[in-house]
Amino acid sequence: MPNKSSRALALKYAVILIMPLCALFYPQTLNFATLAFGERVFLETRPVDPSDILRGDYVTLDYEIQDIPDYMHPEEMGGGPYSNKSPSAVFVGLERDTDGVGRVRSVSLKRPNGGLYIKGIYKRMRWGIDYGLSRYYVPEGTGRDIEEKVRDHAVLAEVRIWRGHPVIYGLVFKENGGKGQGVN
């Protein structure tokens, strides 16, 4: 029968082996949990004019909810777009319009107790929020067509959000293209 010291030593080695595995698989587990349990919301994309339109097999996306209206600036952030304060995490409360498109409802430095919200990183030099959703991988050779549709305001990103963590589920193309059209 093993004694206490050999069990303690075995436990130490088990922890040493398991901890790196947990750290390695945590981001993937979080993404899978978000896709499985997250709320479905559509986000309006807007055109981006990068120096190179397509880098490899992904497109660059920008979102309407990245720019926060002036009247929603939290006082804790300094109340203006060129504040010296630079918090790292912000929580943007969303509400869906009649088409299911997420619109900014509120902005806070504190995690909301409930409701639909997305966590982002505040950009200090302007009132823009980075949600980590700017890169979307596409099948080879389709990137230019998708970027053209984004320029025509004919693309919505279907996003799953779970506890503030967003994951792009796919892209949805508006019927007949352009703003104000139904989603197909």
Number of Cβ atoms within 10 Å of the Cβ of 20: 9
Question: Can you give the pTM of this predicted structure?
Answer: 0.70
Supply φ then ψ for residue 11, to 5 degrees: -65, -40
Rounded Cα gap, residues 108 and 129, in angstroms: 12
- Verify that 19 and 105 share a domain, yes or no: no
- Verify that 48 and 93 share a domain, yes or no: yes
- Verify that 22 and 97 share a domain, yes or no: no
- Verify that 60 and 87 share a domain, yes or no: yes
Rg, the chain, Cα only: 21
Enclosing H/E stretch for 136: strand 135-137
CA dihedral 30, 33, 38, 42 (to 10 degrees): 60
Position 158 scores a pLDDT of 95
- Verify that 110 and 169 share a domain, yes or no: yes
- Verify that 95 and 125 share a domain, yes or no: yes
- Verify that 99 and 54 share a domain, yes or no: yes
DSSP-derived pairing of the beta strands 89-96 and 58-60: unpaired
- Verify that 11 and 49 share a domain, yes or no: no
Residue-wise pLDDT for 64-119, tens only, equals: 998 887 777 766 665 554 455 555 788 999 999 998 999 999 988 889 998 999 99
Q: How many domains does the chain have?
A: 2
The boundaries of the domain holding residue 151 are 39-173
**pLDDT tier at 182, thresholds 50, 70, 90:** very low
Structure-token pair, residue 79: 């109340």
- Verify that 18 and 104 share a domain, yes or no: no
The DSSP call for residue 183 is: B
- Residue with token string 């994309």: 45
